[in-house]
Amino acid sequence: MAARTYRLTVAGELGDRMASAFPGMTLTPGEGTTTLSGELDQTELQDVFGRIADLGLTLLETKSVKSANGSDRDPVKAVNTGEHPPP
């Protein structure tokens, strides 16, 4: 499957020490959050989701920014609050 550029936002400002947990990704701390950016295929994306969970981080948002060939596409947004949606 083709790689796409993704931006994942997690709660908390992750330091440089945490960058080794996400090789090939750029970590950008913000106000109470950190954005992880990088080009990933579906398998790599699932691995990143697993690392986020293993580290006990809260995933706030996932956006597919563009494909590896540069074509833009509507962002895909997923929110993980650890809670189930209301019925």
Residue 72 pairs in a beta bridge with: 66
pLDDT tens-digit map of 1-28 = 688 999 999 999 998 888 899 999 999 9
CATH number of the domain within which 53 lies: 3.30.70.980
- Domain hosting residue 32, numbered range: 4-67
In a domain, 83, yes or no: no
pLDDT tens-digit map of 56-85 = 999 999 999 865 555 544 444 444 444 444
Tell me the CA end-to-end span of the chain in Å, nearest whole number: 34
Element (H, E) at 26: strand 26-29
In a domain, 63, yes or no: yes
In a domain, 86, yes or no: no
Task: Say what the pTM is.
Answer: 0.73
What's the total number of domains in the chain? 1
In a domain, 12, yes or no: yes
Structure tokens at 54: 């293993």
Question: How far is Cα 86 from Cα 14, in angstroms, rounded to an integer?
Answer: 30
In a domain, 9, yes or no: yes
In a domain, 77, yes or no: no
